[in-house]
Structure 1
């Protein structure tokens, strides 16, 4: 009887101990999780690029408008660094403004057929990736630069996939992931199917695609086949709008307008790409001269208001 009681007491003590270990202390109880937004609102600095504000002022304007995520242009960052600043200075500015750099816009010619030009492009991309990693930007846009003019020859898609894998292997070291960007006006990578072919045939797990409301329209792909892309392939997405004044053949980069000011199927597109596991970065990319003629803060404030309306109800 004594042994039985002793065993019962021992088991009770162990149970109490385990329960105490596993149960959170009252001060550690977490608040009930809230629904995560499917989108992160981001300002591509193209939207205020015509104001020529420079790296620091662009961030200050974006922050004041309420943006906590931006896409920077590599050239703007390089100018800032050439004028005497360091990547540590850039990180401090980002911290002070409460801004995260989600992606960078670069133009290294990684896809071209010319071996010498492509080697230079790879060297450029490696240097830019290293720089971006130092400021905390872990993505870089990789459009078909050098193969985008009307007289550019068509590049074999299998070769394009091999070349994309090469820059993805650079990212294995830098951790800055190249986002394969569709350009609707280009003879190369202008269609959704081409971009997906290159991404898939690269055979690299870090392959990602960067799509755009305007470029999907310009290239003729539209949004119908977006469900086949696979949501893990899209981490960032460029948003904008276009009016009925321009045909697909005639519209240009500069004709893009704020979301909601045109006829693009934006909300339908966002419903097709949104994911439940993590938010997609929606970056407003326009190059509108009418906006450049306005005060930069007004443009950024309007951008935020338009984007909030854009995602409402999606």
Structure 2
């Protein structure tokens, strides 16, 4: 097992793995240790993992890796970044350091069912037209304790989901990285994660993939666990909570870029029509929910405003 320091990426010694696992981490050694135990518990064993230490304590990461050296059998390495470059850059560094057929981002705070890799690899082997496959996911709430982490509750993530479609991805991201195994060749086709949209890099990448390829869905047993700590801050916080405002900002930015690209090629006629249509339709539906008295008051106010404007 080898590691590297500084800003240079590295390729793992063995190049024959079926699955390349990217683990993004920064100053969370307890979570990293749990994540590596989780990976080592997979029934499917033909994998290599690269830990991308995004500006955190390199000695702490190396100690975690050393603790699993025997069980890992040379399948785990690390890239240490001297400065934090963000989630998107860390993902790209990890992907570029691996050569397997399939890729998955296993962030240091999330977990898998022991059959996750076996089931998702089997799906992609049997469905060569799919760009990737998503496993059914559960949100697991937890809190830190003096001895580790304690589960406080669970809820299904998109429980009614039966398929991954491009149309629904346009509305909102329907899956998280821990649940998604995909073909590494997609990066050759559509590019890497955008490093200028670091709070929404997975959704933006998913859109590029889904526009070209179907994405499969394993809808049976829960195989992925999205761990959340709503009350944690600092290093132990979740990006969805700590970066909530950035998620919203980059969501709007991605949509605005796409709209401008469409208008540049097709004109603004459809965009103008839909913008007004949606506004009128929302107003109509809200109006239907009002009582007769509320409607009469609203109509009177509109007439009063109209007279004042004359």
Structure with greater helix percent: 1
Q: TM-score, normalised by structure 1?
A: 0.25
Structure with greater strand percent: 2
